[in-house]
Amino acid sequence: MARALEPQRRLLAVYTGGTIGMRSEQGVLVPGSGLAAVLRSLPMFHDEEYARACGLPEDTLVLPPAIPDQRVIYTVLECQPLFDSSDMTITEWVQIAQTIERHYGQYDGFVVIHGTDTMAFAASVLSFVLENLQKTVILTGAQVPIHALWNDSRENLLGALLMAGQYVIPEVCLFFQNQLFRGNRVTKVDSRRFAAFCSPHLPPLAVMGTDVTINWELVRKARGKAQLVVHSSMERDVGLLRLYPGIPAALVRAFLQPPLKGVVMETFGSGNGPTKPDLLRELRAAAERGLIILNCSHCLQGAVTSDYAAGMAMAGAGIVSGFDMTSEAALAKLSYVLGHPGLTPDDRKEEADAIREALVPSLACAAAHAGDLEVLQGSDLSLESFNGQTPLHAAARGGQPGAVTMLLRRGVDVDPRDEDGLSPLLLAVKGRHRGVIELLRAAGACLSLQELEDAGTELCRLAARADLEGLQSWWQAGADLSSPGYDGRSALLVAEAAGNLEVVTFLQNLKGGAGVQAPGPATL
Ligand code: ASP
């Protein structure tokens, strides 16, 4: 999706509190009101002359032009009361979602100004509460107040306004330190540095530098013209329990008592925990009562697997793998699934099973992505993940030739499309997983006409960056490497202009040799 080019784009900036607007009172920082007035006094946030010429109301500001002929006009809605985000809960986040819903028709995008301490929770919850988004929603905040001489507030807020004002990225995102992340993939990792957040398992959706680079292949596609739905019935009785060496079974038992309905259990390494029989007994008993236990690793990188005997799978089938979810996202998802009308555990086993399935719709996808052939062997391959990805998508994304081979042998569809229209072959190309590309091509997978059409611009980008492996992956997948990019230039011309000799030689050899088209099944 391209940059939105209407002459005026209107945003709603919902100011909920946080350091960004805080002031010092008796030596401590407290939430501060009047952010709009502060922004109005800063030329980078407001062009008074333009505002006057347009007769904009008092609470509405306009950014100076970032690109010719386009203005980002934004209204700051200050919440009452303002919060240090440590005090925010699901209730406040649902209210934010309802505010967005109330104003959805009037604005082109939304920025939520929020404290950083719980921003990853907020972004995760909003990503589940707001369904069918067609507009950009970006959370941002700062580590140092906007009043300070040296601060990150201005850069973060301006970046968020520009991203939401200029691009249609129809999902809940978090913008910090020049990077736009998927909201339910982030975690706060630093309380002092300006780079406060990281997204351990998903690259940024966009990076703002000299240019704005958007990873469109990662950006979720809007689903047709479906109406925005706000899921306000989130379950509040969910909890987070971090295992530690020697944790007493009695403590776990006390924690897991009703009214708790679901718990995210943070485990060691790839999903392991103590194997003491009394502890496992407590976990099993809780799962049998219908309590949903979602296993997430407290490691930042890696995922929950079934590699170890100490894996939590030992505690019984009732424990669901959270795979690579952050604890914040897992808690939000648990709250969403348990709050879903029609999915109430009520001690009834079938419903508890349905909830487990909804939480991790496909264990097969997790196993395929991790290349865990043992689990994959025994998994139901018909289940898709939340965005319609099949185990083959997951195996291709994870670059797992073993899993791909096993799935193909089991007769899965070689060219399925997920809800965003992506195929396993395209995911393998993006990941440069040459072995997987080869297997999929040999099984008859082809890039779609649309994928082939879109390839030109991507090929030019790879050529400019001297990314030979990327180009080879596209070629191997059957793309026509002479396809022009958006400006009509081919990858070869771009590589020549950039002086990327290795790429030039590769592309010239293809041209002069067997043809630019890769061998193999037809490419439509
Ligand atoms: N305690 C503050 C908050 O989360 C921290 C921040 O905004 O950076 O509201």
CATH of the domain at 453: 1.25.40.20
Q: In terms of pTM, does the model score above 0.85? A: no
Looking at ligand 1, which atom is closest to the CA of residue 17?
9
Q: Is residue 389 part of a domain?
A: no
- Cβ atoms of 46 and 73 within 8 Å: the answer is no
Residue 210 appears among annotated catalytic residues: no
Question: Same domain, yes or no, for 243 and 216?
Answer: no
Mutation test of ligand 1: which of 22, 121, 157, 176 has the most ligand atoms closer than 8 Å to its C-beta? 22
Cα distance between residue 449 and residue 478, in whole Å: 11
Question: Same domain, yes or no, for 217 and 245?
Answer: no
pLDDT value for 344: 53
Question: Same domain, yes or no, for 332 and 287?
Answer: yes
Looking at ligand 1, which atom is closest to the CA of residue 18?
9
**Domain CATH number, residue 281:** 3.40.50.40
Residue 519 has pLDDT above 90, yes or no: no
**Domain CATH number, residue 139:** 3.40.50.1170
Question: Same domain, yes or no, for 49 and 163?
Answer: yes
**Domain end point (choices 341, 361, 377):** 341
Mean pLDDT in residue range 376-388: 67
Question: Same domain, yes or no, for 259 and 216?
Answer: no
Cα distance between residue 203 and residue 133, in whole Å: 21
Count of structural domains within the chain: 3
Question: Same domain, yes or no, for 158 and 53?
Answer: yes
Q: Is residue 421 part of a domain?
A: no
Question: Same domain, yes or no, for 216 and 263?
Answer: no
Over its C-alpha atoms, the chain yields an Rg (Å, rounded) of: 25
Q: Is residue 467 part of a domain?
A: yes
**Domain end point (choices 341, 358, 393):** 341
How confident is residue 514, by pLDDT bands cut at 50, 70 and 90?
very low
- Token pair of 299 as six digits: 């490691």
- Cβ atoms of 335 and 232 within 8 Å: the answer is no
Question: Same domain, yes or no, for 245 and 199?
Answer: no
**Domain end point (choices 290, 319, 341):** 341
- Token pair of 124 as six digits: 């995760």
Residue 185 has pLDDT above 60, yes or no: yes
Q: Is residue 310 part of a domain?
A: yes
Mean pLDDT of the chain: 88
- Which residue range forms the structural domain that includes residue 154? 8-230
Residue 243 has pLDDT above 50, yes or no: yes
- Which of 19, 136, 140, 390 does the annotation list as catalytic? 19
Q: Is residue 408 part of a domain?
A: no
Which has more pLDDT, 158 or 521?
A: 158
How confident is residue 383, by pLDDT bands cut at 50, 70 and 90?
low
Question: Same domain, yes or no, for 209 and 296?
Answer: no
Residue 233 has pLDDT above 60, yes or no: yes
How confident is residue 436, by pLDDT bands cut at 50, 70 and 90?
very high
Cα distance between residue 390 and residue 397, in whole Å: 11
- Token pair of 341 as six digits: 């009308």
Mean pLDDT in residue range 284-306: 87
Phi, psi of 92, rounded to the nearest 5 degrees:
-65, -35
Mutation test of ligand 1: which of 15, 20, 84 has the most ligand atoms closer than 8 Å to its C-beta? 84
Q: Is residue 386 part of a domain?
A: no
Phi, psi of 464, rounded to the nearest 5 degrees:
-65, -35
Cα distance between residue 397 and residue 392, in whole Å: 8
Question: Same domain, yes or no, for 266 and 192?
Answer: no
Q: Is residue 242 part of a domain?
A: yes
Cα distance between residue 49 and residue 56, in whole Å: 10
Q: What residues are in contact with ligand 1 under a 6 Å CB criterion?
A: 17-19, 84-86, 115-117, 141, 143
- Token pair of 106 as six digits: 């009037």
Contacts of residue 431, Cβ cutoff 8 Å, sequence gap at least 6: 396, 397, 399
On the question of a cis peptide bond just before residue 81, with omega within 30 degrees of 0, the verdict is yes
pLDDT value for 362: 56
Q: Which of 93-107, 373-387, 444-458, 510-524 has the highest mean pLDDT?
A: 93-107
Mean pLDDT in residue range 266-275: 91
Q: Is residue 271 part of a domain?
A: yes
pLDDT value for 313: 65
Question: Same domain, yes or no, for 298 and 220?
Answer: no
Question: Same domain, yes or no, for 186 and 265?
Answer: no
